Chains A and B, each alone.
Chain A
């Protein structure tokens, strides 16, 4: 079993929809939780992060962590075609050795 599990999708939604992306993890030592976005044939780039449990909002994006259930979520409001990408959740104990989920491919239809 991988330490971070993520549904690979693909997930297809119409423009303007609310998107919910989720991951589960098994390592209780994880303290840092982040979402990276990867466009086709590009390297991943950091999108959002949270430390420990809680919510964090940045524009149309909200990251949520529930450590009691070991659940990581990313919500995208008013989704745009430019949001079409693969979204990777990642976690770290503080060692800087990120453990990534396998990624969920999102397609936002205009």
Chain B
């Protein structure tokens, strides 16, 4: 299996622009998680889905952030408009309901820089 796939790996954009991050979970996994990692705040859960349905979005920082999962093999995290404080590494992770509750498989991350 290819593991969790994220694109792009790096994104540099100007303040005010729309940013879309993409994730393909491991085939057969029914949970998908979006995290953000910064030096100041560490790794924070933004939102997670079960069977394509958002379960908990309490970590989404504000209305500028939105996430969708139109099918079992694809999810997007969108920031509109982007701000410099959104600069971070964004990770997508997936897990299997039949697997252990604590075992999440992380993608390589998208490094976002907003200037």
Contacts and interface: CB of A to CB of B under 8 A. Distances in A.
Interface of A: 2, 32, 34, 41-46, 49, 88, 90, 92, 94-103
Nearest to A6: B42
Interface size for chain B: under 10, 10 to 19, 20 to 34, or 35 or more residues? 20 to 34
Given A43-B106, A45-B106, 4 more contacts: A34-B102, A92-B101, A98-B45, A98-B104
A41 B101 CA distance: 25
Contacts of A90: 102
| Chain B, interface SS category | strand
| Chain A, interface SS category | loop
A94 B101 contact: yes
13 contacts: A43-B93, A45-B105, A46-B102, A92-B101, A96-B31, A96-B48, A96-B101, A97-B45, A97-B48, A98-B33, A98-B102, A98-B104, A102-B41
A43 B4 contact: yes
A57 to B, nearest CB: 17
